[in-house]
Amino acid sequence: MLCQAVPTTEEALTARLVQSTTEALELYGIYIGKELGLYAALRTHGPLTPPEVARAAGIAPRYAREWLEQQAVAGLLRVDVSATTADDRRYALPAEHANVLVTEDHPAHLAPLAQMVAGIGGALERVVHAYRTGGGVAYPHFGAAFRKGQAGINRPAFLNDLVTRWLPAAPDLYAALTSRPLRVADVGCGAGWSTQAMARAFPLAEVVGFDADAASVDDARRHAEGHGVAVHFAVRDATALVEVGPFDVVLVLEALHDMARPADALRSMREALTPGGSVIVADERVGEHFHAPADEIERLMYGWSIVHCLPVSLAEQPSAAIGTVIRPDIVRALATEAGLGRVEVLPVDGGFFRLYRLRAKY
């Protein structure tokens, strides 16, 4: 049975493409504003004229004026249009936009999505080549923009929800973390925000962050040092975790679907676990089954998959080639293959994520 495509008319589809182009370009404008500190300057010093923004942020005045006008046209900034010249107009960041665009630890901070899109744009020719050859595109090719964006988009949840809501959904595990000196591995730790959160929330625990990407580990070390958190980070593939065990808890937060050999990685985690230990997986909250047309979350996840997650997983061979859309039955199958046959979906709203607890059957 063929599903009805949406939109249903030529006119509707052309309108959708124009709108999508406008919104994509606006994301690049957000990337510029975040990367150059323009929103931060407006929040700290605004309302400002274009020359004042240029001085505050250290950019060229003509670029400042054009960016400010575009942001006002897009409705992201407010502007006083009564000024007599373009350089006399004053622009302000609305208070209701500040958390989304500037406040990095706030749950509403979605500006890093623009960084992720910018990173994909820089790697798109490699992605096209991969489609032709069946190969992949290694994570570092997506550049600092994507790396910072991915870290930034997860930062609020990893710093807050992980330790205040997600782990408490497994009460016995949470009680053990708060009362005993457990050893915790944060696999695929990225910029280390989850590692930091675990170390602060559970001071009795020894928390170690691992990532296969050296640049991410450098970021994690710098962030931990800047926040005064004493944690250890190391460059290590997930399939080699058993070499540095044992661990009582292993975290795999939005990383399993990107792994070329996820079953091997989970098997190494199981072998590294102490008896009764747990692997906590947070991965995409997509539907139980494929359906089309789909909701906004499914559309978003498939969007990431075709240009980033699938090419990244195919950069290493052999590859399971899961892509972003990792459904619960896939997680259960991988866990079972790895000897982690006790699979529980934790009863907590993880936003974009579904939370799993994996344990071996004894």
Residue 79 lies in a domain: yes
Residues 332-355: what's their mean pLDDT?
Answer: 97
Residues 124 and 84 in one domain: no
Q: Do residues 147 and 291 both lie within one domain?
A: yes
At 31-40, the pLDDT tens digits run: 999 999 999 9
Coil, strand or helix: which one is 232? strand
Q: Kindly state whether residues 91 and 190 are assigned to the same domain.
A: no
Q: Give tens-digit pLDDT for 272-305.
A: 999 999 999 999 999 999 999 999 999 999 999 9
Q: Is the pLDDT of residue 46 over 90?
A: no
Domain boundary among 68, 101, 134: 101
**Digit-coded pLDDT (tens) for 12-23:** 999 999 999 999
| 1 lies in some domain | no
Question: Same domain, yes or no, for 85 and 18?
Answer: yes
| Rounded Cα gap, residues 282 and 345, in angstroms | 10
Q: Are residues 72 and 201 in the same domain?
A: no
d(CA 68, CA 158) in angstroms, rounded, equals: 32
Residues 57 and 195 in one domain: no
In a domain, 342, yes or no: yes
Distance CA 341, CA 263 (A): 12
Decide if 3 is inside a domain.
no
**Region 218-244: what's the mean pLDDT?**
95
Res 320: pLDDT? 97
Residue 107, in any domain of the structure:
no
Residue 202 forms part of a structural domain? yes
Instruction: Assign residue 55 the CATH number of its domain.
Output: 1.10.10.10
Q: Residue 25: inside a domain, yes or no?
A: yes
Q: Which helix (H) or strand (E) holds 55?
A: helix 50-57
What integer is the mean pLDDT of 193-208? 97
pLDDT bracket for residue 198 (50, 70, 90): very high
Number of domains in the chain: 2
In a domain, 4, yes or no: no
Comparing C-alpha atoms, which of 69, 63, 67 is closest to residue 86? 69
Q: Which residues have C-beta within 8 Å of that of residue 325, sequence separation ≥ 6?
A: 257, 284, 286, 298, 301, 302, 305
The amino acid that residue 348 corresponds to is V
135 plus 79 within the same structural domain: no
pLDDT exceeds 80 at position 92 = yes
Q: According to the model, what pLDDT value does residue 5 have? A: 59
Q: Of 35, 70, 101, which residue sits at a domain end?
A: 101
140 and 51 housed in the same domain: no
Structure confidence by residue, pLDDT tens digits, 240-250? 999 998 999 99
Global pTM value: 0.93
State the Cα angle at 226 between 225 and 232, rounded to 5°. 20
Last residue of a domain, one of 66, 101, 136: 101
Q: Which of 296, 215, 209, 203 is nearest to 250 (CA)?
A: 209
Domain that holds residue 244: 112-359
Same domain, 94 and 118: no
What average pLDDT does range 130-145 have in this prediction? 97
Structure tokens at 176: 């053990």
Q: Work out the average pLDDT over 43-54.
A: 95
Give the pLDDT confidence of 232-268 residue by residue, as tens digits.
999 999 999 999 989 999 999 999 999 999 999 999 9
Buried b (16+ CB within 10 A) or exposed e, 14-29: eeeeeeeeeeeebbeb
| Residue 169 contacts residue 347 (beta carbons within 8 Å) | yes
Residue percentage of the chain with pLDDT more than 70: 98
Q: Residue 84 — very low, low, confident or very high, per pLDDT cuts 50/70/90?
A: confident
CATH at 334:
3.40.50.150
Q: Do residues 122 and 18 both lie within one domain?
A: no
In terms of domains, do 30 and 151 share one?
no
What is the rounded average pLDDT of the residues 337-348? 97
Q: Do 256 and 208 fall within a single domain?
A: yes
Confidence bin at 1 (pLDDT 50/70/90): very low
Burial 318-348 (b: 16+ CB within 10 A, else e): ebbebbbbbbbebbbebbbebbbeebeebeb
For residues 197 and 227, the answer to whether their CB atoms sit within 8 Å is no
